[in-house]
Amino acid sequence: MALKATIFRASLQVSDIDRNYYGEHSLTLARHPSETDERLMMRVLAFALNAHEQLAFGKGLSDMDEPDLWQKDLTGRVVHWIDVGQPDEKRLIRASGRADRVTVYAYGSKAEQWWKASAGRLERARNLAVWRVPGEASGSVARLAERAMQLQCMVQEGQVWFGSAAETVQIEVGALRSAG
């Protein structure tokens, strides 16, 4: 018998002073049986850093043709494709042809090692941006995971504060590659 996804709900308040974006989002996330709390919360963080009324969660791990998050315009065209972790280079090349922008949030202790191995093969993906979230920060964010969450994210001058009423994590998201 196949394992079923676990449903998480989050109320997320975003104050992104850098982008002049302020909003509250009610999120429903399905955690794949093989997904960790760290990866789940990295998807929530990626949502917060790119919050938009048309941003939605894709099938991610369950479907290789969909990202972890994406933003589509009213015609169904993919405006922004967002993945977390260390996606396959072929997946990112294919995504860069389908979307106006592609963003990856690599996290954990092996993020830079993955990027060094992948950077050369991804040179032609001009619309690709890659960000690194340090392993200590992604581990701290993972501790915020609960089936029902009240979360806040504030972004100011490139600094990110992400947390709940009990704990707030300051995160240094560093650019490994900016989209050309």
- Chain centroid to CA 152: 15
pTM, two decimal places: 0.95
- The tens place of each residue's pLDDT in the chain, 180 residues long, gives 567 889 999 999 999 999 999 999 999 999 988 899 999 999 999 999 999 999 999 976 666 779 999 999 999 999 999 999 999 999 999 999 999 999 999 999 899 999 999 999 999 999 999 999 999 999 999 999 999 999 999 999 999 999 999 999 999 999 999 986
Interacting residues of 75 by C-beta distance below 8 A, sequence separation 6+? none
Q: How far apart are CA 24 and CA 13, in angstroms?
A: 4
End-to-end CA distance of the chain: 46
**35-165 homologous superfamily:** Restriction endonuclease-like alpha-beta roll domain (3.10.640.10)
Q: Residues 161, 49: contact at Cβ < 8 Å? A: no
Rounded Cα distance, 47 and 41, in Å: 10
Question: What's the DSSP call for residue 19?
Answer: T
Cβ neighbours of residue 161 closer than 8 Å, sequence gap 6 or more: 152, 153, 154, 155, 168, 169, 170, 171
DSSP one-letter string for 33-95: TT--HHHHHHHHHHHHHT--TTEEE--GGG-TTS-SEEEE-TTS-EEEEEEES---HHHHHHH
